[in-house]
């Protein structure tokens, strides 16, 4: 079976809490301080073998990711399907809320967006299979465990996937600097997919055309756009605000 190395205390802790199948836990020799003690205890509770190794071994397994003295060896995390994500929303009896990422290439941005998605209750994230970051150890480290809780679907054709979401009853809102509507003036309730473009080019033409409407975030300074992860966080928290307001 293919294996994945999960490096870092928060990612490992969340993988254990989420019940991720973990083959064994590798801990730096003599490390018992802080959250390492909690990780060891949870591994024992889950029946996961714990092995002490030299830090050089952890360095090699982590592949450049800061491991903080612990690496979990787990089954490779599978990508979800669009139907998996929509089923998750139905099971929770909630209007679907999806985050669609159009060519996010920076692992830091993808990890941050996954962390925000978990925080606001996004049911799943959709990414393209080409010219975009995937679920790498670096992304998992930035996401601080969110990859264990937020399903990610990797699709071949993003405009086609958006069309499928629209057929399922979702409205699709894209973020675009030149949009006529300011984000907080748009109705962002109900079944919704929020689309964030890539770091340099924003939304591609076909993806922009597939959106039902676009919104912009006002810029008062000298730059004309925000970091993709920041823009995504602003829009998702506005969606959360409107949903919570509607439920009160």
Q: 41: domain CATH number?
A: 3.30.1330.30
Q: Is residue 7 located within the same domain as residue 60?
A: yes
At 223 the pLDDT is 66
Of the candidates 236, 242, 244, the residue with the CA atom closest to the CA atom of residue 117: 236
Predicted pLDDT of residue 30: 85
Domain coverage including residue 186: 82-247
Q: Among 26, 45, 75, which residue terminates a domain? A: 75
pLDDT band of residue 71 (cuts 50, 70, 90) is: very high
Same domain, 105 and 53: no
- Spatial CA neighbour of 69 closest among 103, 26, 104, 106: 26
For the segment 36-58, what is each residue's pLDDT rounded down to a tens digit? 999 999 999 998 999 999 999 99
| Count of domains for the chain | 2
- Do 218 and 192 belong to one domain? yes
Burial state string for 224-245 with b = 16 or more CB within 10 A and e = fewer than 16: ebeebbebbbebbebbbebbee
Query: Given a cut of 90, is residue 173 above it in pLDDT?
Result: yes
Averaged pLDDT for residues 146-163 = 93
Judge if 89 and 162 occupy the same domain.
yes
Q: Are residues 140 and 231 in the same domain?
A: yes
| 148 has pLDDT over 90 | no
pLDDT digits (tens, 9 = 90+) for 90-103: 999 999 999 999 98
d(CA 193, CA 199): 19
> Does residue 92 sit in the same domain as residue 203?
yes
> pLDDT tens, 127-143?
998 888 888 777 877 88
Same domain, 118 and 234: yes
Asked whether residue 65 falls in the same domain as residue 147, the answer is no
My answer on whether 177 and 242 are in the same domain is yes
Report the CATH number at residue 102: 3.40.1280.10
Kindly state whether residues 114 and 215 are assigned to the same domain. Answer: yes
Instruction: Identify the pLDDT of residue 1.
Output: 44
The whole-angstrom distance between residue 173's C-alpha and the CA centroid of its chain comes to 18
Average pLDDT over residues 196-213: 92
């Amino acid at each position: 079976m293919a294996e994945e190395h999960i490096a870092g205390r928060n990612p490992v802790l969340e993988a254990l809490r989420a019940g991720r199948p973990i083959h064994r836990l590798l801990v730096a020799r003599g490390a018992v301080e802080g959250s390492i003690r909690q990780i060891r205890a949870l591994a024992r509770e889950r029946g996961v073998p714990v092995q002490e190794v030299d830090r050089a071994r952890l360095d090699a397994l982590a592949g450049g990711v800061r491991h903080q003295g612990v690496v979990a060896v787990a089954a490779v995390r599978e990508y979800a399907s669009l139907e998996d994500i929509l089923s998750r929303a139905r099971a929770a009896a909630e209007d679907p809320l999806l985050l669609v990422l159009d060519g996010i290439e920076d692992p830091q941005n993808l990890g941050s967006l996954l962390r925000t998605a978990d925080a606001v209750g996004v049911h799943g994230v959709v990414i393209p299979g080409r010219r975009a970051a995937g679920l790498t150890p670096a992304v998992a480290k930035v996401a601080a465990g969110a990859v264990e809780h937020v399903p990610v679907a990797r699709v071949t054709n993003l405009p086609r996937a958006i069309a499928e979401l629209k057929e399922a009853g979702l409205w699709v809102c894209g973020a675009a600097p030149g949009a006529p509507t300011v984000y907080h003036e748009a109705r962002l309730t109900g079944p919704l997919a929020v689309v964030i473009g890539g770091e340099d080019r924003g939304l591609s033409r076909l993806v922009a055309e597939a959106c039902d409407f676009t919104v912009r975030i006002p810029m008062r300074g000298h730059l004309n756009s925000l970091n993709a992860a920041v823009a995504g966080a602003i829009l998702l928290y506005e969606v959360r605000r409107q949903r919570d307001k509607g439920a009160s």
